[in-house]
Structure 1
Amino acid sequence: MEEIYANVDDDNSSKPIQHSKASQNQSGSRRFHGAVVLCLVLLSVFLLIGLISLGVHYHNSVCGEDDKLSTIKTNLTELLQASQKKLSSMTEERNKLKTNLSEMTEERNGLKTNLTEMTEENNNLQSLLEQKTTCPDGWTKLCSSCYFLSTESGSWTTGREDCRTRGADLVVIHSSEEQIFLSAFTNTKTWIGLNDRDREETWKWVDGTPLTVTYWGSNEPNNGKVIIELGEEDCVEISGGQSSKWNDISCESSLRWICEKPAQP
């Protein structure tokens, strides 16, 4: 009997021990769950903080980009306005130039018309003048001038003096038409009214006009060879004939001469 009671007591004494272990297990489980919950809460807090930081950063970035875009837009607007103003100014200037060009063209056309009319009028007057003017006997007429070819020969000065006694002077050549006429007018070397006696290589006509058109022969004028008894070549002859050219020669050479004077009504 004692053994039976002893076993019963043993069974009853083991139950509190088992209950204590269960309590310990439940306490550990609660601590574990609490730690998990704490971790989850902390993780949520960190996530929230991260989201808030990201939102702030994004907001600042967007604001910064908006400022940049606003600045770019302002600059582009100012540039566009400046370009439009420049284009407007250039367009206005171009229109003014076109107007000026149009006026100048019109003025040029008017001048051309006037020149044509004046040329035609001059030709008509010249024609009438030629019809109404005559030359003395022994003289040949070309346009409004009369020409005389001497039969005698002498120095350039002698020829000029003879022309003056006839109310004329040695011939002055100012055009190709006159040069061609004189080439056929004489077929021998003949004095014309050109010289550089006052200043070497400064050629001028007897009427004081400068030399503008020339018909010098090859390598002329060259002042030639100085002949002591005749002097330097300061006066000019026309060779005459089909290919008539000019040549400088000593003024003391003996040649025929051509006189010229205006035709008379």
Structure 2
Amino acid sequence: MQLTKERDELLSSNHDLIKQTDQLRQEKNEPLKSIHGMEGWIYYQSNLYFISSEKKSWTESRRSCTERGADLIIINNRQEQVLGSSEPNGHRGENCALTYSPGWADYPCSDRFLWICEKRLLK
């Protein structure tokens, strides 16, 4: 009698764990499902990136990103910060930065360049 009761409890517990595992798998895959419908976006390290094919000013670029539910890419790690620490420096109205290999340069924000949007999936 006791063994039957313990078996039934274990079966019930196992069933609950299977349901929880299925739920977690579904939640984990939910952001990836939404990516498939986002043409032109690249998924990398839990973020989405949109790389433009047309040149725009900083203001126009930012507007294009916000219309896509994103923002212009933000440099947010130490290695990237060290590379760009002196630019933009505000000289001669050059308040926007442009990255290129091997470094950085600052330009007037009205100049037109290609741009990248970043959308964070995990907060």
Which TM-score applies when normalising by structure 1?
Answer: 0.30
Tell me the residue number matched to 2:63.
161
**Residues 68-119 of structure 1, C-alpha deviation per residue, up to 9 Å, x if partnerless?**
xxxxxxxxxxxxxxxxxxxxxxxxxxxxxxxxxxxxxxxxxxxxxxxxxxxx
Tell me if 1:214 matches 2:72: no
Greater share of strand residues, 1 or 2? Answer: 2
Report the Cα distance in structure 1 between the residues aligned to 2:94 and 2:108, rounded to whole angstroms. 4
Is the partner of 1:261 in helix, strand or coil?
strand
Tell me if 1:145 matches 2:47: yes
Give the Å deviation of 1:263: 3.2
Q: CA RMSD in A?
A: 2.6
The residue identity in structure 2 corresponding to 1:215 is: L
1:1-265 paired onto structure 2 within 5 Å: 132=29, 133-134=31-32, 135=35, 136-175=38-77, 179=80, 213-216=81-84, 220-224=87-91, 226=92, 232-239=93-100, 241=101, 243=102, 245-263=103-121
Identical-residue share of aligned pairs (%): 34
Report the Cα distance in structure 2 between the residues aligned to 1:139 and 1:159, rounded to whole angstroms. 16
Q: Say whether the 8 Å CA contact 1:145–1:263 is kept in structure 2.
A: yes
The residue identity in structure 1 corresponding to 2:96 is: C
Residue ranges of structure 2 left out of the alignment (5+ in a row): 1-24
Report the Cα distance in structure 2 between the residues aligned to 1:140 and 1:175, rounded to whole angstroms. 19
Larger RCO (alpha carbons 8 Å, 6+ apart): 2
Runs of 4+ more than 3 Å apart: 219-224
Change (3 A) 1:262 1:221: closer
Greater share of helix residues, 1 or 2? Answer: 1
Q: Say whether the 8 Å CA contact 1:149–1:259 is kept in structure 2.
A: yes
Give the Å deviation of 1:221: 4.1
Report the Cα distance in structure 1 between the residues aligned to 2:105 and 2:66, rounded to whole angstroms. 23
Change (3 A) 1:220 1:261: closer
Tell me the residue number matched to 2:16.
none
The residue identity in structure 2 corresponding to 1:236 is: A
Report the Cα distance in structure 2 between the residues aligned to 1:149 and 1:138, rounded to whole angstroms. 8
Is the partner of 1:214 in helix, strand or coil?
helix
Which TM-score applies when normalising by structure 2?
Answer: 0.61
Question: Number of paired residues?
Answer: 91
